[in-house]
Amino acid sequence: MGGESANLVFLLSREEGCSYNKAGEIVNQMVMDKCKDMELAAEELREYCKNHQVTTTQKVAIENYISSCKNWLRGSHTFSTQSSRFEIMV
């Protein structure tokens, strides 16, 4: 992992005694599950707004927050797929 020891795949591989590939699969599923949780939370928040007296200003702020969360996830994914930090060194 490019000498990086503070990496979830590396740590999970070491802790579980599995390959980097298996640890990567586990981490990928963890990330996918959290992304689904975030999408569900966003939908629940939107539903809450529909059922309560939420102002337009508040709705805009909520949508901006949801958008920022999605952008953060995309940015993290892009960084992890393009950075040499996460290349496996052999």
- Say how many domains are in the chain: 1
Whole-model pTM above 0.75?
Answer: no
Place of tokens 């802790």: 15
Mind listing the pLDDT tens digit of every residue in the chain (90 residues)? 455 667 888 899 999 999 989 998 998 899 899 999 999 999 999 999 999 999 999 999 999 999 999 899 888 878 877 877 666 655
The answer to whether position 3 is within a domain reads no
Kindly report the backbone phi and psi dihedral angles of residue 36, in degrees, each rounded to the nearest multiple of 5, phi listed first: -65, -40
The answer to whether position 68 is within a domain reads yes
The answer to whether position 1 is within a domain reads no
